[in-house]
Amino acid sequence: MTERKIFCNFAVEKQNAGKKIRMKVKKFGGTSVGSAERIRNVGKLIAGCRKDIVVLSAMSGTTNSLLEISGAVEKGDRKRASELIETLQAKYSDTIAGLYQTEKYKAKATKTIDGIFNELRALTDKDFSVALEKEIVAKGEIMSTNLMNLHLHELGINSVLIPALEIVRIDMHGEPDEAFISKEAKKALDAMADADLYITQGFICRNEKGEIDNLQRGGSDYTASLLGALLGADEIEIWTDIDGMHNNDPRFVEGTTPVHNLHFEEAAELAYFGAKILHPTCILPAREHNVPVRLLNTMDPSAEGTLIENRLEKNAIKAVAAKDNITAIKIKSGRMLLAYGFLKKVFEIFEKYETSIDMITTSEVGVSLTIDNEKNLPRIEAELSQLGTVTIDRDMVIVCVVGDLEWTNKGFEAAALEALRNVPVRMISYGGSNYNISFLIRKEDKVKALRLLSYHLF
């Protein structure tokens, strides 16, 4: 029980007057629920967390398998689809055998999961469409949440499933319909006010036509962030199997340490620049509604993790991150000199080919920018050539330093530059936000640059 206290310190503290029930939203990713043992482990972490909302991903590997099944349907290969379903179902049978103690619950879970597999088989008999694929893929989260809910029941916990398909909706632009989510989620919680714990699916939702849809790969974090933000949670916890965001990439640099506090903006920069732990758009709702996000580790639950909130630690450099596969494009033109409208023409070409620009630096006679998607590069290059001389550098890496880089602070940009004294730097971008300075370097210099920055800055 003492263990539980650590995680549930906010649970069921009813505020005297307003009777606001304080709660958290806790999201567990695919690996955290990836086996019977891991599901039991999460069960222990949430068992005592009364009134919290638990958002689950599909068991790891399941979403990919379901996409493969849908791919077989698309190719008209029904035999392959049914083989893949067999294999997946066997995995779930094993999980059930390992997860439940009693025959009663084994039977209940088998019945539920078999029912879902029967629905899946019926889906694979239909003609392929994108909508069908989304229906197939949604089964992953439906299965993991059912398994967890039954596991909690077997432990004697009064948990309920709230179907995400009833409370999460996206609009015609694919954006979350916040008014709908807020209203329907509150309604669902009120209707089940007696429950101790609420379990729901991450990732899946309906669209404006009422069809089953999703928030795109990795979207469970987004679900958690939306629910936490719109229901006014005390905190959104994202549980993975690393102890938060690190101050550098542990794959290349020894002795990295978790960063305990980050501003939302710092976290967004790091998320884009390679810290895979959190998708940048996912934390937007939390940020807008000022709900802190805490990254925690299921393998080491008492570790402090990383707390992301709207608070900046002054005068601190927090972390270094890198993004690979960057292409730099330089456009040099005499016509740029003292002319206006040149950049507009450049940007319009990128807009036309739906390619986003990440870094940009300009001089009076040229502009350099970077992209991370080469799909339309030949066409972009051809059109840019009409504006000036185009040079392309491939296999580049953006290294970014994140922290309190407000321009009036002195010395931080100098320290970063000093660290990279012996590394050839192609571009530098500073002042775009108060939180970052970015360097574009060659791929072969990346590890050296990351190590040098860690050595000099931390």
Residues within the interface to ligand ASP (CB under 6 A): 29-30, 57-58, 63, 140, 202-203, 217-220
- Identify which of residues 285 and 388 has a Cβ nearer to ligand ASP in the complex: 285
Residue type, 398: I
Q: What is the DSSP string of 312-340?
A: --TT-EEEEEEEEEEEEEEEE-GGGTT-S
Judged by beta carbon distances under 5 to 8 A according to partner kind, the member of ligand ASP, Mg ion, none in contact with residue 63 is ligand ASP
Judged by beta carbon distances under 5 to 8 A according to partner kind, the member of ligand ASP, Mg ion, none in contact with residue 140 is ligand ASP
Judged by beta carbon distances under 5 to 8 A according to partner kind, the member of Mg ion, ligand ASP, none in contact with residue 200 is none
Q: Measured between alpha carbons, how far is 298 from 56 in angstroms, rounded to an integer?
A: 13
- Identify which of residues 60 and 82 has a Cβ nearer to Mg ion in the complex: 60
Q: Measured between alpha carbons, how far is 4 from 300 in angstroms, rounded to an integer?
A: 13
- Identify which of residues 187 and 276 has a Cβ nearer to Mg ion in the complex: 276
Judged by CB under 5 A, the number of residues near Mg ion is 2
- Identify which of residues 218 and 244 has a Cβ nearer to Mg ion in the complex: 218
Phi-psi domain of 99 (left: phi exceeds 0; alpha: psi -120 through 50; beta: other) = alpha
Question: Tokens 């979403």, residue?
Answer: 63
Q: Measured between alpha carbons, how far is 56 from 33 in angstroms, rounded to an integer?
A: 8
**Site map (CB under 5 A) of Mg ion, residues 27-56, x = contact:** --x---------------------------
- Identify which of residues 117 and 203 has a Cβ nearer to ligand ASP in the complex: 203
Minimum distance from residue 345 beta carbon to ligand ASP (Å): 38
- Residue 232: alpha-carbon gap to chain centroid: 20
**Site map (CB under 5 A) of Mg ion, residues 165-204, x = contact:** ----------------------------------------
Q: Determine the interface stretch with Mg ion among 22-30, 108-116, 148-156, 442-450 (rule: CB under 5 A).
A: 22-30
Minimum distance from residue 164 beta carbon to ligand ASP (Å): 11
- Identify which of residues 29 and 388 has a Cβ nearer to ligand ASP in the complex: 29
- Identify which of residues 176 and 219 has a Cβ nearer to Mg ion in the complex: 219
Judged by beta carbon distances under 5 to 8 A according to partner kind, the member of ligand ASP, Mg ion, none in contact with residue 100 is none
Judged by beta carbon distances under 5 to 8 A according to partner kind, the member of Mg ion, ligand ASP, none in contact with residue 322 is none
Nearest residue to 309 (alpha-carbon basis) of 241, 229, 407, 406: 229
Q: Determine the interface stretch with Mg ion among 213-221, 262-270, 354-362, 395-403 (rule: CB under 5 A).
A: 213-221
Phi-psi domain of 183 (left: phi exceeds 0; alpha: psi -120 through 50; beta: other) = alpha
Minimum distance from residue 29 beta carbon to ligand ASP (Å): 6
Q: What is the DSSP string of 242-311?
A: SSS-BSS-TTTSTT--B--EEEHHHHHHHHHTT-TTS-GGGGHHHHHTT--EEEEETTSTTS--EEEES-
123-158 as b/e, with b when 16 or more CB fall inside 10 Å?
Answer: bbeeebeeebbbbbbbbbbbbbbbbbbbbbbbeebe
Q: What is the DSSP string of 1-39?
A: -HHHHHH-TTTT-B-TTT-PBP-EEEEE-TGGGSSHHHH
Judged by beta carbon distances under 5 to 8 A according to partner kind, the member of ligand ASP, Mg ion, none in contact with residue 159 is none
Give the containing element (helix H, strand E) for 205: strand 204-206
- Identify which of residues 217 and 352 has a Cβ nearer to ligand ASP in the complex: 217
Q: Measured between alpha carbons, how far is 98 from 96 in angstroms, rounded to an integer?
A: 5
Judged by beta carbon distances under 5 to 8 A according to partner kind, the member of Mg ion, ligand ASP, none in contact with residue 203 is ligand ASP
Question: Using an 8 Å Cβ cutoff, are 177 and 210 in contact?
Answer: no
Judged by beta carbon distances under 5 to 8 A according to partner kind, the member of Mg ion, ligand ASP, none in contact with residue 379 is none
Judged by beta carbon distances under 5 to 8 A according to partner kind, the member of ligand ASP, Mg ion, none in contact with residue 58 is ligand ASP
> Can you tell me which of 202, 218, 292, 305 binds Mg ion, judged by CB under 5 A?
218
Judged by beta carbon distances under 5 to 8 A according to partner kind, the member of ligand ASP, Mg ion, none in contact with residue 217 is ligand ASP
- Identify which of residues 222 and 350 has a Cβ nearer to ligand ASP in the complex: 222
Minimum distance from residue 285 beta carbon to Mg ion (Å): 16
Minimum distance from residue 409 beta carbon to ligand ASP (Å): 37
- Identify which of residues 29 and 34 has a Cβ nearer to Mg ion in the complex: 29
Minimum distance from residue 225 beta carbon to ligand ASP (Å): 11
Question: Tokens 């549980």, residue?
Answer: 239
- Identify which of residues 29 and 258 has a Cβ nearer to Mg ion in the complex: 29
Partners of 53 in the beta sheet?
25, 198
Nearest residue to 49 (alpha-carbon basis) of 195, 232, 181: 195
Question: Using an 8 Å Cβ cutoff, are 168 and 206 in contact?
Answer: yes
Minimum distance from residue 215 beta carbon to ligand ASP (Å): 8
Name, in order, each residue with C-beta under 8 angstroms of 71's C-beta and a sequence gap of 6 or more: none
- The residue ranges that bind Mg ion (CB under 5 A) are 29, 218
